[in-house]
Structure 1
Amino acid sequence: MASPVWRSFCSQLIKTSRFRELKCSKSLIAGSVANGCKTEISRGMASGPRKIVITPTKFQWFRFKNDLHFYLMLTGLPLGAWIFYANFIQGEAELAEIPEGYEPKHWEYYKHPIRRWFARYIYEDPVKLYEMEAAEAVLEFEEARCRARRKLVKDMIHSYDDYRAYYFVPAVDPRFTESVREGEKQRVHLESGTR
């Protein structure tokens, strides 16, 4: 027998919940009555018969909605507050005379505060980028010049064929020839000593 607390909880759940109809052709629970295409559990209580329509769960849908709402608020509220502050409180920059001897920073050339923030903290300084690209172009130019000189030297070596090129590798290792000479000297010395 169920406890009175449990029966009260179940009755409150039945009163407050709103279930969709389950479209099915057979009953899901033993002892339930199948009316057309919905399954119902019927039980007579003190205040009259109540019916529960058994429907599939909406847990995943509610979980998705809750997570979506949470993450939108987690990012949307701070971002919206920042945009509101930048547009309505801080406002756009106004043109003014540049004081004598002052060189403006690269982000001070933008009018909108959000663009200025991105130019200051996210993007690189355009002058720095230009210098980096120029240095890279100079390095590529120097490398191309070195390649052209090497090609010219190789062509001249091959055209005259009278000079050992820088890639020349001797056929016999000089250390090997020296050891052979040393061996011949020792052999000659030994032969002369035995006679």
Structure 2
Amino acid sequence: MVNWSAFRPLLTSPFLKNALNGAVKRNMSDHRVIPMQPSKWQWNKFKDLMNFYVLLGVIPLGAITLGTNIFIGPATLTKVPEDYTPKYWEYYRHPITRFIARYILNDPQQDYEKYLHMLYEESERARLRQIERMILNRMEKNEDYQAYYYRPVLAKYHRMSKDAADYLKTIRGD
């Protein structure tokens, strides 16, 4: 076997050292790794959406509000002709509030009538529940059958079934 220590002077020569320094080295045992850090994806997504909604909503609405306040301004009181009845949205002072009241929100009279209808429906339901309780109490007191579950039979269908039975009887000849 060859003595490997004989090659040591060759490996320490300056020529070979320069050749090895210029070569590509693989540092596999070094601890130079990518440091772990939290992702910035959620933050970037939040910034993108925030910019999008600001450009989409805040800037146009701000411009409309600014223009309305500068060029139109709040309403002023004036004399109303005798034969004119003001609309419900004309009672608001600011033009944006008037626009919202006229085109987006319901008429207060319509809301009031819907509320009255809801009260009427609830009172009818309460009245029907009270009548049902009275009937159940009366049935319990008299130990009666549940007669209000009876569904009347229409005589028309009874006559049709009787005619069909008579016709079948004549065909069979019984």
TM-score normalised by structure 1 residue count: 0.47
Could you tell me how far apart the structure 2 residues matched to 1:113 and 1:64 are?
Answer: 34
For residues 45-103 of structure 1, the C-alpha deviation after alignment (integer angstroms, 9 at most, x for no partner) is: xxxxxxxxxxxxxxx89998777556534434322221122111011011223322322
2:79 alignment counterpart: 97
Could you tell me how far apart the structure 2 residues matched to 1:88 and 1:147 are?
Answer: 59
> CA 1:93–1:159 in structure 2 vs 1: closer, same or farther (change >3 Å)?
same
For residues 5-32 of structure 1, the C-alpha deviation after alignment (integer angstroms, 9 at most, x for no partner) is: xxxxxxxxxxxxxxxxxxxxxxxxx89x
2:4 alignment counterpart: none
> CA 1:166–1:93 in structure 2 vs 1: closer, same or farther (change >3 Å)?
same
1:113 alignment counterpart: 95
Could you tell me how far apart the structure 1 residues matched to 2:49 and 2:143 are?
Answer: 79
1:127 alignment counterpart: 109
1:135 to partner: Cα distance:
0.3
- Greater helix content: 2
> CA 1:73–1:134 in structure 2 vs 1: closer, same or farther (change >3 Å)?
same
Could you tell me how far apart the structure 1 residues matched to 2:82 and 2:103 are?
Answer: 27
In structure 2, what residue type is equivalent to 1:82?
A: I
2:135 alignment counterpart: 153
1:110 to partner: Cα distance:
0.6
Runs of 4+ in structure 1 over 6 Å off: 60-67
In the alignment, structure 2 segments of 5+ residues that lack a partner are: 1-23, 26-40, 152-174
Could you tell me how far apart the structure 1 residues matched to 2:130 and 2:122 are?
Answer: 12
Could you tell me how far apart the structure 1 residues matched to 2:50 and 2:134 are?
Answer: 67
1:162 to partner: Cα distance:
5.2
Could you tell me how far apart the structure 1 residues matched to 2:75 and 2:142 are?
Answer: 71
Count of matched residue pairs: 113
- Greater strand content: 1
Could you tell me how far apart the structure 1 residues matched to 2:53 and 2:121 are?
Answer: 48
> CA 1:164–1:87 in structure 2 vs 1: closer, same or farther (change >3 Å)?
closer
Could you tell me how far apart the structure 2 residues matched to 1:69 and 1:135 are?
Answer: 46
> CA 1:63–1:155 in structure 2 vs 1: closer, same or farther (change >3 Å)?
closer
In the alignment, structure 1 segments of 5+ residues that lack a partner are: 1-29, 32-59, 170-195
User: Secondary structure at 2:149's aligned position in 1?
Assistant: coil
> CA 1:157–1:78 in structure 2 vs 1: closer, same or farther (change >3 Å)?
same
What is the percent sequence identity of the aligned residues? 40
User: Secondary structure at 1:103's aligned position in 2?
Assistant: coil
